Structure 1
Amino acid sequence: MLFYNIVVLSVLNTVWCINLRKFPTGFKFGAATAAYQIEGAWNVSDKGVSIWDTFVHNNPGAIKNDETGDIAADSYHNWQADIDIASDIGLHFYRFSVSWPRLLPTGYVNNKSEDGKNYYNKLIDGLLAKGIEPIVTLYHWDLPQPIQDLGGWTNPLIAEYFADYANYVFSLFGDRVKIWITINEAISVCDFAYNSGILAPGIKEPIYATYLCNKHILIAHAKAYRIYEKYYRPRQHGKVSFANNLLWIEPLTPADEELAELGLQHTAGRYSHPIYSKKGGWPLSIVKVMEEYSKKQGFHSSRLPRFTNEEIQLIRGSYDFYAFNHYTTRLIRPAQPGEDIGFWFLTGSPELNAVLVADPSWP
């Protein structure tokens, strides 16, 4: 059942709140999903192929029990039942993502799917009919395969392709959707995916790809935001932002406080400072770290790509609120000589010469 976990958590939270605390007036409860993880119908009608379709089909065993998203919760066919469940448990909002290749089968705006458009129209209208606010994520990791074939998020042209896609989605659904997330958890798309190679698109390239992806995803977000700001906000009156995966980092010992701050800048900072800070651009502490580490590796210049002044101004201020998903916290400490650091942001950071650990007393 799609909302089973939410039901359990709601019941537990209700008991806990009655005994201890009360949520403030206006607090909203909701649920969130991702298109690839729930929709199924991977090859229905004229839907295009995404990087996750390709990844799971070409890499049996990459996912536990050889699972795929081919059917998943089959929300494409069961959308009304999902809405009924959401209504029954009293959700105020439902955040879902649009599948880029379901709307634009090749990823480009010259090929539009009527079937995809109709599906999301039915979903949005059905939610509103039940008094549930739709919150829409434009990108939750299901990049069209033809765009990946050109380099995906390491190709600077992807910012234009994403802007075209965002413009199309705003034009279709913006009359009813008032809260938008452009890109979900970019650090997972860039850092985790390219540092490990265990997520789609299945490419391990931790030298340049992570940071090229980081830069281009911020530019893509900003272009989408500016399109909404100029052409849609005046009549649709919605809000747009960017959702971080906020892994919180604390020092293992008091001596590690400066390192913990660098760790936070390496996670939240690289995906927040260019958007939310007054000056824009990369966090200066990370610019310094990457310059020093790149030289140590034998590179003549930093692996962290520079922003032009125009790009800094484009990205800076491209938000209406700060959005994040939070799962857990890690403690950080310096790596020991010869210690296997692993990869950022799962076990540690070679750039910071640091290791992430969990307190064994945590449940």
Structure 2
Amino acid sequence: MLGRRPAAGACCAAVVWLAAAPACTTKVRRFGEDGAGGGAGGATASAGEGGSTASGGGSTASGGGSTASGGPCDPGTQDGCYSGGRDTLNRGVCRGGVRTCDEDGNGYGPCVGEVLPASERCDTAEDEDCDGVVNQGCTYARCADVPPGQPSGVVLLDLDGTGPEPELPVYCDLTTDGGGWALVYNSVGSDAGATLPFWNIPYAERLATRGEPAISQNYYRGSLYFVGREYRDEIEDIEGTAKTVMRATAEGIDSATMKLLRPAHVSGNADIYVSQFLSGWSSQDRDADPDPGNCALQNQNVTQHYAQCWEYNLGADGDEPRDDGGWGPHLGTHLAERLGLASDDTRFTRVRRISRWTRW
């Protein structure tokens, strides 16, 4: 509710958020502090004789803040102000300012120092339109183009940069090893048993997307193999320690065999590189790995890159029986020990997470 102007003949005092009533003590508040700048009742000034009160008198609120009203005020007194919408104040970059009563006491000058909502920019990590979401609606060609300072999370990527192809929501790791990593797949251990069937990916869906892009959920986006050039595999053990276990490069992928083109080992465990990156791709209905048998069929229909057959598996246990309740990701315990990761005292230990990242 807007405040009332003082009664005729009443003298004026310094305002709090809105104009106040007859001669009292001066008190200045910043807008938005201790109730200043609120709605009706946000600040009151007691009157002299007669006992009347003015609740935010002598000023108008426009869009959730105060503006110069032309009403009477004490020269030189100041008041907090904000001319943007109330729901944007102190959100994102938006901040209130201060306005000063003119030397004749006729009204307030401009709101100095306020920062109002502006068009969202995609080259900063700021919320310029003050809607509570950083870079909303922005798209990038790769995770590495996201401006520094933005936290890791889901980003919209336009992989070919041509549009109007729908933007792809991709989870970007913006901190590890310089950032710029896009999540290719993520297998998350769970006693609920949902992980094992998730990785039964038929050949026809080898380049499709499964799940939602999140580091806490099972996720697969095969199309990223087309653009990826650097890769790293990351494993989080059952005690929560996460390590990069393998780094490699490639120049795309053969979409028929799912073999990576011109792969090269960069660092980390060579056995993981051979078994889970250099080798072909196997699903229960299409076997293109170098092993004589079908590794996917031998391991509970789990589709992934295999060699002899695996050093880690995204869904099946290597111990008999291969299905240990559908937990999901497992790592050979001999590798866990070599990598400094914890094990569950079986030959093929459960792990919390196996993730593959790429950047280009």
TM-score range, shorter chain: under 0.3
Larger Rg over CA atoms: 2
The TM-score with structure 2 as length reference comes to 0.25
Which structure's relative contact order is higher, taking Cα pairs within 8 Å and 6+ residues apart?
A: 1
More strand per residue: 2
